[in-house]
A and B are shown apart, each in its own frame.
Chain A
Amino acid sequence: MQKLKKIKWKHYVNYIAVGLATIVLTVLALTGQLKSSDLVLLEKIAISIILAVSLSMVVGFLGELSLGHAGFMCVGAYLGGKAAFILEPLVGDIPALILSLLIGGAIAAVFGVIIGLPALRLRGDYLAIVTLAFGEIVRSIFMNSSSDTFGGALGLQTPRFDKDYLFIIAFVLVLVCLAISQNLIRSKHGRAITSIRDNEIAAKATGINVTKYKLIVFTVSSFFAGIAGVLYSYSNTKVQSSTFDYNYSIEILVMVVLGGMGSISGSIIAATLITFLTTALQTILTGDLAILQNILYALILIVLVIYNNAPALKSFRAKYDIKNLLKKFHKHDPSNVHDDEAKWDRVPTKIQMDEVLTTDIQISSPYTPDKADKEEN
């Protein structure tokens, strides 16, 4: 029981949530409760989660704006899909899946390094434009390609995996992505990365190898975007470059911003929410009303970013922050003084200090200095 108490459960919340969801959904699928449209929705949610978590590594933790995330997904989708197409008759279903995932992810990671190299020298604004340009270039290259290699404007045909259980594989990949991302962020490397976000020159002066960490983040992020792309090509048998446009990159960015930049759990929740709403409302919002979705995204971006970052709203934010609201439910016991945890994340007010200083501390094992040692006698 002691060991259970010592585990920091909040570190594993993400794994537990996704794992439980997978188990529940698998049971539902096995008993036939889920329609095929639900299965497609689940695959889409998994893809969105992987994309949002990988983008949040670049935007939320490294602090660089990357508008070309859909471009990496496009690379992964086309190359992974093509690889699957070629490999499946040769090696069979599952090995082809694994190999094409690795191929799609690896090539997307190569492109991630290529994009990361200018990132080393460019400030944030320029990098946004360069990543945007990259997304457009990749899309136009695949669109203008010949029909034999990548299907040209009509798109590429890819094999469809056993459609009932693709979502399980997708969620397993979500867990893998979570594992790698969380372990990277919750380590000294992750702290180095966030320090680059907070003040790059100070980080360099402290001895952090900014080049190495920027390249690592871009590579890992684009690797997972590529994997999401390969999953997409398995989920939709047709891969068209027009899907991976600038608007899709913005949609992923909205998921990251909505979830809170610098929060992996937030990205997961926001990705699920947005994908679910988009698919659920797809039947209701047709034609011109679909633009309402874009307006909603734009308003989310503007309002949330201004609310979270405006210097003038700082006091307002401190009052209505979710963490502070929840603290009201947690009764504060001032005699409970933990010596081994320093909780000075906020400078305490005078009222709090008085509370702490006026309580009597219960001593568990009294030290009486008058007892002489037996050896001295």
Chain B
Amino acid sequence: MEFIKTLIDGLSIGSTYAMIALGYTMVYGIAKMLNFAHGDVIMVGGYAMYVALLACGQPILAVAAAVVFCTILGMTIEKIAYKPLRGASPLAVLITAIGVSLLLQSLAQIIFGSAPKMVTIVDLGNATIFGLSIPYSTFVTLACSVVIMLILTLFVKYTRTGRAMIAVSEDKEAAQLMGINVNKIITITFAIGSALAAFAGLFMLMKSPSLTNTLGAMPGIKAFTAAVIGGIGSIPGAMLGGLLMGVVEAISLKIPAIAPYTDAIEFLILIIILLVRPTGLIGKKRREKV
């Protein structure tokens, strides 16, 4: 019975990681860059919710405000920090992304202080099913994530913009020749990714309401790991990778012998998968040309 609880916990953590991983994988597939600052957009979303809750007290309005704020933030970061470097070496973009991440963390620390803030979006309590006490927030997380990922998959498959995104991720120059506005597509990608990050922040705060400026750093790295495990650039891959990572983390935390080394185990899985199957579980093989 405990195992079922662990499994459900794992799926819940995993779906949060999956949402963050979706942001990473879309940006990587379309703009071909690793957005180090993605994890910190989660943190900014959390603080936006905190401020919005202080301002108006309505949880739904606060969440909506945070999502809008994160979307605008994502688009601004892309325009200021990443767009000037289109065509530059990937190392430069990576270092800039690290700089943006550090900047977001420090700004949050200066504005809000280092003490953790308590952000209770909505207190739902626990449900008792089959003798297990599971918090309602777990189910809300799972349900919302499934719905959001379904909407995203349908969007990417059946709308013009979605198909344009797939085209840009496959071949940027050919997509430009076909008349697709690549700049607009990249901006939309960052916007969607950041909105997903805001939702991920919401789920994380529902699980444990303590908010510091390093909230998004570790989950960001783990979600990137999940995206790579599933196959970077592939949306179902990100979802699969995220769920896998969540389950592994939940199981590993339950075993007291290896619990302090949970992070190490997850990174070890990353290294093994990268060495054995570098394109991930669902990823496509990409040819590199000189």
Q: Considering the complex, which residues of chain A in the window 45-87 have a beta carbon less than 8 Å from any beta carbon of chain B?
A: 59, 63-65, 67
Q: Considering the complex, which residues of chain A in the window 276-293 have a beta carbon less than 8 Å from any beta carbon of chain B?
A: 288, 291-292
The docked-state distance in angstroms from the alpha carbon of A141 to that of B86 is: 39
Q: Name the prevailing secondary structure of the B interface residues.
A: helix
**Is B84 within 8 A of A310, CB to CB?**
yes
For B81, what are the chain A residues with a Cβ–Cβ distance below 8 Å?
A: 302, 306
Stretch at the interface among B63-71, B100-108, B121-129: B100-108
A168 close to B (CB within 8 Å): no
**Is B275 within 8 A of A308, CB to CB?**
no
Chain B proximity of A116: nearest CB distance (Å): 13
**Is B221 within 8 A of A132, CB to CB?**
yes
Stretch at the interface among A102-110, A123-131, A224-232, A263-271: A123-131
A295 and B110 contact, Cβ closer than 8 Å, known pairs A311-B87, A311-B88: yes
**Is A126 within 8 A of B264, CB to CB?**
no
The docked-state distance in angstroms from the alpha carbon of A121 to that of B81 is: 28
Among the listed A59, A125, A129, A309, which residue makes an inter-chain contact with B88, where contact means beta carbons less than 8 Å apart?
Answer: A309
Among the listed A128, A199, A291, which residue makes an inter-chain contact with B290, where contact means beta carbons less than 8 Å apart?
Answer: A199
The docked-state distance in angstroms from the alpha carbon of A17 to that of B100 is: 35
For B114, what are the chain A residues with a Cβ–Cβ distance below 8 Å?
A: 288
Among the listed B28, B86, B102, B228, which residue makes an inter-chain contact with A298, where contact means beta carbons less than 8 Å apart?
Answer: B102
A133 close to B (CB within 8 Å): yes
The docked-state distance in angstroms from the alpha carbon of A130 to that of B268 is: 9
The docked-state distance in angstroms from the alpha carbon of A309 to that of B84 is: 9
A291 and B92 contact, Cβ closer than 8 Å, known pairs A253-B98, A305-B99: no
The docked-state distance in angstroms from the alpha carbon of A312 to that of B83 is: 10
B96 close to A (CB within 8 Å): yes
For B34, what are the chain A residues with a Cβ–Cβ distance below 8 Å?
A: 125, 128-129
Among the listed B87, B113, B274, which residue makes an inter-chain contact with A288, where contact means beta carbons less than 8 Å apart?
Answer: B113
Which of the four size classes fits the interface of chain A? 35 or more
For B221, what are the chain A residues with a Cβ–Cβ distance below 8 Å?
A: 129, 132-133
A285-326 vs B, Cβ < 8 Å mask (1 yes, 0 no): 000100110110111111001101111110000000000000
Among the listed B88, B109, B290, which residue makes an inter-chain contact with A205, where contact means beta carbons less than 8 Å apart?
Answer: B290
**Is A294 within 8 A of B100, CB to CB?**
no
For B261, what are the chain A residues with a Cβ–Cβ distance below 8 Å?
A: 140-141, 144
Of all chain B residues, the one with the shortest Cβ separation from A130 is B271
Q: Name the prevailing secondary structure of the A interface residues.
A: helix
**Is A140 within 8 A of B274, CB to CB?**
no
Chain A proximity of B37: nearest CB distance (Å): 10
**Is B264 within 8 A of A140, CB to CB?**
yes
**Is A129 within 8 A of B224, CB to CB?**
yes
**Is A250 within 8 A of B94, CB to CB?**
no
B270 close to A (CB within 8 Å): yes
A301 and B106 contact, Cβ closer than 8 Å, known pairs A121-B274, A129-B221, A129-B270: no
For A144, what are the chain B residues with a Cβ–Cβ distance below 8 Å?
A: 260-261
Among the listed B85, B106, B113, B274, which residue makes an inter-chain contact with A122, where contact means beta carbons less than 8 Å apart?
Answer: B274
The docked-state distance in angstroms from the alpha carbon of A312 to that of B221 is: 31
A137 close to B (CB within 8 Å): yes
Of all chain A residues, the one with the shortest Cβ separation from B81 is A302
Among the listed A125, A126, A306, which residue makes an inter-chain contact with B85, where contact means beta carbons less than 8 Å apart?
Answer: A306
For A199, what are the chain B residues with a Cβ–Cβ distance below 8 Å?
A: 290
The docked-state distance in angstroms from the alpha carbon of A295 to that of B278 is: 36
A202 close to B (CB within 8 Å): yes
Q: Considering the complex, which residues of chain B in the window 15-68 have a beta carbon less than 8 Å from any beta carbon of chain A?
A: 28, 33-34, 36
A295 and B98 contact, Cβ closer than 8 Å, known pairs A137-B267, A288-B113, A306-B85: no
The docked-state distance in angstroms from the alpha carbon of A311 to that of B270 is: 34
**Is B92 within 8 A of A308, CB to CB?**
yes
The docked-state distance in angstroms from the alpha carbon of A132 to that of B106 is: 19
**Is A302 within 8 A of B91, CB to CB?**
no
**Is A133 within 8 A of B270, CB to CB?**
yes
Chain A proximity of B112: nearest CB distance (Å): 11
**Is B109 within 8 A of A299, CB to CB?**
no
B225 close to A (CB within 8 Å): yes
11 A-B interface contacts by CB (under 8 A)? A124-B91, A126-B228, A128-B94, A140-B263, A201-B288, A205-B290, A257-B95, A288-B110, A288-B114, A294-B102, A302-B99
A-B pairs, top 3 by smallest CB distance, nearest first, are A301-B99, A298-B103, A309-B92
Residues of chain A having any CB pair with chain B under 8 Å: 59, 63-65, 67, 118, 121-126, 128-130, 132-134, 136-137, 140-141, 144, 199, 201-202, 205, 250, 253, 257, 288, 291-292, 294-295, 297-302, 305-306, 308-313
Residues of chain B having any CB pair with chain A under 8 Å: 28, 33-34, 36, 81, 84-92, 94-96, 98-100, 102-103, 105-107, 109-110, 113-114, 221, 224-225, 228, 260-261, 263-264, 267, 270-271, 274-275, 278, 288-290
Q: A299-B99, A305-B96 are in contact. List 12 more A-B contacts (CB 8 A).
A: A125-B34, A128-B94, A137-B263, A250-B102, A253-B98, A294-B105, A295-B107, A297-B99, A302-B81, A306-B85, A311-B86, A312-B84
